[in-house]
């Protein structure tokens, strides 16, 4: 039976009945929206809707819920009505891997929860299909591997025996379950199983439908092999389907798409880390917005595999978001505890990690003294901000702090003072804060109103400061223990 014979032939909505409704249900069940024992080899998959419908020929509210999720996952208007656009998408060629819709709803990229625990992954061709010369077919698949290895620290190595990933072209049922049987031309193009343990006994294996017409020419005269291989290998190294129609990991085939997108790269780097620069900037998740002209972000890493961002929000409280290499970015920004407020238009935060599992924030307060708050992985955030010891005051509207940790258990702050010299104070876990600020040695002076310091520790026991001087060159000084 060809794909059109298995799809609804008319518009469907809540209250519809008949065989077309059953075809709709069967389609959604096949691709992950209802319980399906035939998808057991996809061990990290869970159905989008937990329960089957009561009557497979009756369009009830449960089926409507699944349709809405399918539409969201596919980038369509989520109205629960199976109209021309939804039917048109269902009639397109696609990947056979079921959609995994996260509990919080469809996401741009989705990680499967499985990954390879080694950096060199081997693969072997069981066969190369009948449409192309073996060298051409294998070259296209190798090119797809290369696209992924260019952005993450993974190496793919071809072997002639064994292999982590087995690659081949097959027809109909081919040993990995009846639900995974290929369906002839169009419909399902290929499928690839997740890395261990999620892919079960077929972990990483990549299967193409022999019934398709596979090509490597441009424009494609058939189904472009490199495009499909690039998508399927994404599954084989830990990604599920993306809700971004422009992404390689989008479930449906839309013609040649031979390069990874920002969405694909962000997803795979969440699993394995990066390699080189991302191809472009991308927006962080969340609905919070800020004033690009006045508000400034402070960024710090509390520990390897972690990022924390801070900004003074429109309510003049401090807001934060975070990323880690286990869960990715937080879903949105959130306010820090405490009643202290600051001027979002003029005051600027400095953020530093004094040791793994610690965060420290600093700002010049409304009283022109330095205020601070902190977080650690034992007690969480301090209940509120507090002033640092000392009598020194600064201009909250113009002067800016630089903060750095010269070694675990140490903090150093720097600012251009009212005398245009560099002033500093410090903290360590043995003696606490210095009693007051002090000027650094040297005769060099800078403009406290306009010039800004940058501070860094190149190694434990070292400090380096940088500033753009009056001659517009970069000036520096350093300290070591």
Q: How far apart are the first and last CA of the chain?
A: 77
Scan for tokens 């708050």, then name that residue: 373
DSSP string, 347-404: ---EEE-SSTTEEEEEEE-TTSSEEEEEEETTTEE-SS-EEPSSS----TTT---EEE
With b for 16 or more beta-carbon neighbours within 10 A and e for fewer, the 37-48 pattern comes to: eebebbbbbebb
User: Which two three-digit tokens encode residue 362?
Assistant: 């600093």
The H or E element spanning position 65 is helix 61-73
178 half-sphere exposure, CB direction, 13 A CA radius: 3
Asked if 149 and 142 touch (Cβ cutoff 8 Å), the reply is no
Residues in the chain: 481
Token output for 192: 């690839």
Task: Return the residue matching tokens 């409507």.
Answer: 64
CB 138 within 8 A of CB 82: no
Tokens 């903290």, residue located: 427
Among residues 158, 173, 232, 259, which one is catalytic? 232
CA distance 314 to 20: 52
* Residue 140 φ/ψ, nearest 5 degrees: -65, -40
Q: Is 232 an active-site residue?
A: yes
Alpha helix locations (H) across 150-239?
Answer: 225-236
**Among all residues, which ones are annotated catalytic?**
232
């Amino acid at each position: 039976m060809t794909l059109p014979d298995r799809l609804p032939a008319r518009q469907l909505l809540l209250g519809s009945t008949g065989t077309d409704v059953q075809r709709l249900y069967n389609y959604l069940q096949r691709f992950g929206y209802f319980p399906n024992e035939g998808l057991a080899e996809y061990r990290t998959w869970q159905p989008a809707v937990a329960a089957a419908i009561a009557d497979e020929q009756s369009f009830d509210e449960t089926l409507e819920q699944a349709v809405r999720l399918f539409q969201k996952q596919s980038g369509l208007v989520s109205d629960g009505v199976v109209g021309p656009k939804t039917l048109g998408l269902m009639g397109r060629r696609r990947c056979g891997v079921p959609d995994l819709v996260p509990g919080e709803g469809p996401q741009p990229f989705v990680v499967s929860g499985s990954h390879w625990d080694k950096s060199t992954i081997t693969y072997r061709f069981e066969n190369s299909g009948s449409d192309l010369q073996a060298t051409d077919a294998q070259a296209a698949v190798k090119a797809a591997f290369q696209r992924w290895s260019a952005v993450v620290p993974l190496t793919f190595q071809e072997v002639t025996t064994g292999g982590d990933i087995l690659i081949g072209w097959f027809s109909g049922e081919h040993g990995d379950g009846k639900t995974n049987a290929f369906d002839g031309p169009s419909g399902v193009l290929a499928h690839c199983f997740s890395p261990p343990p999620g892919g079960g006994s077929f972990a990483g294996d990549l299967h193409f439908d022999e019934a398709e017409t596979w090509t490597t020419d441009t424009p494609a005269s058939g189904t472009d092999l490199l495009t499909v291989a690039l998508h399927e290998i994404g599954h084989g190294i830990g990604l599920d389907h993306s809700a971004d129609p422009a992404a390689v990991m989008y479930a449906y085939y839309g013609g040649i798409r031979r390069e990874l997108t920002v969405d694909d790269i962000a997803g795979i780097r969440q699993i394995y880390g990066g390699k080189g620069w991302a191809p472009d900037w991308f927006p962080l998740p969340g609905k919070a917005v800020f004033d690009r002209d006045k508000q400034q972000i402070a960024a710090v890493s509390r520990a390897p595999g972690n990022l924390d961002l801070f900004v003074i929000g429109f309510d003049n409280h401090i807001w934060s978001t975070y990323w880690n290499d286990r869960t990715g970015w937080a879903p949105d920004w959130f306010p820090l505890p405490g009643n202290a407020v600051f001027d979002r238009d003029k005051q600027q935060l400095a953020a530093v990690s004094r040791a793994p599992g610690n965060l420290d924030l600093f700002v010049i307060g409304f009283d022109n003294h330095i205020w601070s708050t902190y977080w650690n992985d034992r007690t969480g955030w301090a209940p509120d901000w507090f002033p640092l010891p000392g009598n020194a005051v600064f201009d909250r509207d113009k002067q800016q702090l630089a903060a750095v940790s010269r070694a675990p258990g140490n903090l150093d702050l720097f600012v251009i003072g009212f005398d245009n010299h560099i002033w500093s104070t410090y903290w360590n876990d043995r003696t606490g804060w210095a009693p007051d600020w002090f000027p650094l040695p040297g005769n060099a002076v800078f403009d406290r109103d306009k010039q800004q310091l940058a501070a860094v520790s190149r190694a434990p026991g070292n400090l380096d400061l940088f500033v753009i001087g009056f001659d517009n060159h970069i000036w520096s000084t350093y300290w070591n223990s």
